[in-house]
Amino acid sequence: MGFDADMRKVSERYRKWAETAVITNDDFGVVDSLLQKHYDERGRLFDDLQNALKRDTDIQSPWDNLCDKGVELGERLNNEISRKIPDGFKGLGMSDFFEGEKAAWQNCKSGRIGLISEAIFDIGRNDVEIYKKLEEDLGKAREDAKLIEEVSKTTFAGFREQIREVAAEIGGIVVSALAIALPQIPKELVPKAKRLTEGFIKGSSTIRELTKKKRAAKEILVRNIELVVKAKEQIGDGAIRDIVKRAEDLATSWKGAARGDYNAQDWDSFGRACVELLRNKAAPVTEKAKMLFDNMQPMYVEAVKTSFVTLFTDPATLENFKGQLNDDMQKMLESFAKEDLIIASLRDSDPKRTADAQMKQIVREVNESLNELKTAIREIDELMKV
C-alpha cells in the first residue's frame, strides 16, 4: 500500500471537526473506524490496480471493475458516515474529498490506460513475430541462394566440360582422318555434336529456372523490406514512445480531480507509480523493436544489394563464366572450321557433298544452341535487375 496521504488528511480534518462538533464518543469511534477501514480497502484497490497493470493481457476489464469498486467504496463510506453524521462528508465539510475521489476513480477508468498497457505488449509480441518471420525468410533465402549457386556453378562447369570434350574429339578425328577416309569425319561428329546441343538446350532451361527461383527469393526479401518500413510507423520504438507518452498524460491527469482542500496527493503518487510500471514494461519491448528495425532491416537491404543482384552472390562469377565459355566456344568453332577446310579440299564427289551438308548442319545446330545459351545468360542479368 502506501497511498494514504489523502486519507490521513481526511482523518486529521475529521478530528478537528469533532473538536467543535456535538457527537458521542461511540459515534465518533464508529466513524473513525469506518475511515480506518476505508484506508485499507482503498489502499488494496491501488495495489490491485498496479498488479493488473503489470499483466500482459486482459488488463482493462479488471481495471474497470476496480475503478467501479473505488466509486462504490466512497459512496458506501459516505452513506455509512451519514448514519452517524447528517449528510456524511458534506456534514463534515469535506465534500471536496468525496466529490474529488469520485471524479478521480471515474477518470482513472475512462482513460483506458489498461488498453494502452495491452498495446505495449501487443507491439512487443508483433515485433517478435515479425523478427522471427524476417529471420526465417532471410535464412531460407540465403540457403536457397547457396543451393542455386552451387547448382548453377555445376551447370556452367558442365558446359565448359562438354565443349572441351567435343573440341578434343574433333581434333582427334581430324588427326586420324588424315590417314583414312576423310568423308567419315562428319559422320563421327554427328552424335557428339547432338549431345552437345542437347546439353546446351537443357542447361539453358536449367539456368532460367534457377534464376526464376532466386528472383522469387529476392521478391520475398523486397516485400519484407516494405513490410518493415510500414511496420516501423506502427510498432517501432517511436510508436512505443508515443504510447507511453499517452499513458503518462493520462496518469498525470488523475491528480486533476483535486477540489478545494483536497489535493489528490495519492492520485499524483499513484499516477507516477503507474507511469514507472509502464516504462519498465516498455523498455524490453523497445529493445525488441530496435533489434527488428535497427538490425534486421539493414541486413535485408544489404542482402538485396549484394547477394541477390545476380544469379551468383559475387556478380563477377557470372562474368568469369561468360568469358571462359566464350574462349572455349571459340576454340571449338575453330576446330569445326578446320574440319570444314579439310572437307573443302576434297575432290567433288557424292561423299564430299554428303560430308559438307552434314558439317553445315552440325555447325548450324551448335550455333543455334550456343545462341540459346547466350540468351539465357543475358536473361539472368535482366531478370535479377527487376
**Which of 64-73, 88-97, 319-328 is predicted least confidently?**
319-328
pLDDT tens string 113-125: 999 999 999 999 9
Helices of type H across the chain: 5-20, 25-54, 60-82, 95-110, 113-177, 184-235, 237-253, 265-290, 297-305, 315-344, 350-385
Average pLDDT over residues 304-322: 81
Residue whose grid cell is 535479377: 384
> Are 89 and 95 spatial neighbours (Cβ–Cβ below 8 Å)?
yes
User: What are 47-59's pLDDT values in tens digits?
Assistant: 999 999 999 999 9
353 pLDDT above the threshold of 70: yes
Q: pTM surpassing 0.85? A: no
Count the Cβ atoms, other than its own, within 10 Å of residue 308: 22
**5-23 mean pLDDT:** 94
Q: Assign 384 a pLDDT band (cuts: 50, 70, 90).
A: confident
Rounded CA gap, 62 and 274, in Å?
15
Q: How much is the average pLDDT of 134-153?
A: 89
**What end-to-end distance do the CA atoms of the chain give, in Å?**
64
Q: Is 237 in contact with 290 (CB distance < 8 Å)?
A: yes
Q: In this predicted model, what pLDDT tens digit does every residue of 71-113 receive, in sequence order?
A: 999 999 999 999 999 999 999 999 999 999 999 999 999 989 9
Q: Report CA torsion sign: 208, 211, 217, 223.
A: negative
In three-state form (DSSP H/G/I as H, E/B as E, the rest C), the secondary structure along 62-98 is: HHHHHHHHHHHHHHHHHHHHHCCCCCCCCCCCCHHHH
Q: What is the pLDDT of residue 178?
A: 44
Residue 372's pLDDT band (boundaries 50, 70, 90)? confident
DSSP letters spanning 117-166: HHHHHHHHHHHHHHHHHHHHHHHHHHHHHHHHHHHHHHHHHHHHHHHHHH
Length of the chain: 386
CB 1 within 8 A of CB 47: yes
In this prediction, residues 224-251 reach a mean pLDDT of 89
Residue 64 has pLDDT above 50, yes or no: yes
- Report pLDDT for 185: 57
Q: Is the pLDDT of residue 22 over 80?
A: yes
Question: Torsion over CA of 380, 384, 385 and 386, rounded to 10 degrees?
Answer: 120
Dist CA 162 CA 166 (whole Å): 6
Give the mean model confidence (pLDDT) for residues 128-137.
Answer: 90
